């Protein structure tokens, strides 16, 4: 038994040496495989959720994302919808958004980029307030609090 323990311990230690020797040359390959694991995607609370609808204007595009209510086990009552403006955005933006894609406008949003203004007029009782309104590398992004 003692000999078996010695041999097993030594083999395990040598395998660990091998593990570190292959780690750095194989890092890209291992990371690529790890990235394919089913849980390896950013939670929508950070990523903003999938794009549900894209509205293409003359100079810019509006991405309306799916509302995010993600909780640990079940969906939360309160969440947000993210709207992204991409491209050459004017200093003043006023757009009407139908976030639930039911054909009716849910809110009108006005953004004054120069004066950091963000106003919302709600046409839907589920729409609450602007949570975040910020310039981004691609243009502008807004998160609006919505109820389920």
Partner 1 sequence: MDNNLGRTGYRKSLGMSLLYTLPMFLITFMFITGGKPDFSDPASALAIGVTFLLVNVLYFLMHYTGKTDTYRAVLFIIFAMTLSYTLISNMVSMRHSMSFSEADIMECKIPFCHLVIPMMIIPAALTKSIIFPGTIIGGFANIASMVVLWLFATIALGRGFCSWGCFYGGWDDGFSRIRKKPIIRKLSESWKWMPFAALILISLTAALTLVPTYCDWICPFKAVTEFEEVTSVETAAKAGIFVSLFAGLVVVLPVITKKRTQCSFLCPLGAVNTLSNKVTPFTVKVDKERCNECFKCVEVCPLFAITREGIKDGNISLFCSKCGKCIDACSKNAIMYGIKGVPAGSMKNFPRNLFLFVSFLFMAVFSAGSIINSLQSLFHYIF
Binding site for partner 1 (CB under 8 A): 2, 5-6, 8-10, 12-14, 16-17, 19-21, 23-25, 27, 30-32, 34-35, 38-48, 70-73, 82, 132, 134-138, 141, 143
Q: What is the gyration radius of the CA atoms in the chain, in angstroms?
A: 24
* Cβ nearer to partner 1, comparing 69 with 107: 69
* Cβ nearer to partner 1, comparing 59 with 137: 137
The CA distance from 84 to 142, in Å, is 7
Tell me how far, at minimum, the Cβ of 27 lies from partner 1, in Å. Answer: 6
Tell me how far, at minimum, the Cβ of 79 lies from partner 1, in Å. Answer: 11
| Long-range contacts of the stretch 49-53 (C-beta < 8 A, 24+) | 49/81, 49/82, 52/99, 52/101, 53/98, 53/101
Reading the block at residue 100, the tokens are 């639930």
* Cβ nearer to partner 1, comparing 90 with 135: 135
* Cβ nearer to partner 1, comparing 40 with 101: 40
Tell me how far, at minimum, the Cβ of 102 lies from partner 1, in Å. Answer: 26
The CA distance from 124 to 56, in Å, is 24
Tell me how far, at minimum, the Cβ of 123 lies from partner 1, in Å. Answer: 25
How many residues in the chain?
148
- Looking at the DSSP bridge assignments, the partners of residue 56 are 61
């Amino acid at each position: 038994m003692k000999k078996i323990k010695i041999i097993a311990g030594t083999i395990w230690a040598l395998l660990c040496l091998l593990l570190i020797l292959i780690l750095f040359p194989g890092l890209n390959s291992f990371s690529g495989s790890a990235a394919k694991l089913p849980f390896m995607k950013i939670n929508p609370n950070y990523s903003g959720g999938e794009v549900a609808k894209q509205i293409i204007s003359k100079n810019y595009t509006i991405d309306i994302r799916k509302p995010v209510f993600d909780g640990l086990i079940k969906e939360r009552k309160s969440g947000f919808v993210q709207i992204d403006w991409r491209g050459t955005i004017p200093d003043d933006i006023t757009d009407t958004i139908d976030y639930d894609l039911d054909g009716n406008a849910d809110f009108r949003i006005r953004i004054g980029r120069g004066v950091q203004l963000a106003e919302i007029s709600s046409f839907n009782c589920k729409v609450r307030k602007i949570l975040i309104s910020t310039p981004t590398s691609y243009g502008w992004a807004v998160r609006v609090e919505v109820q389920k």
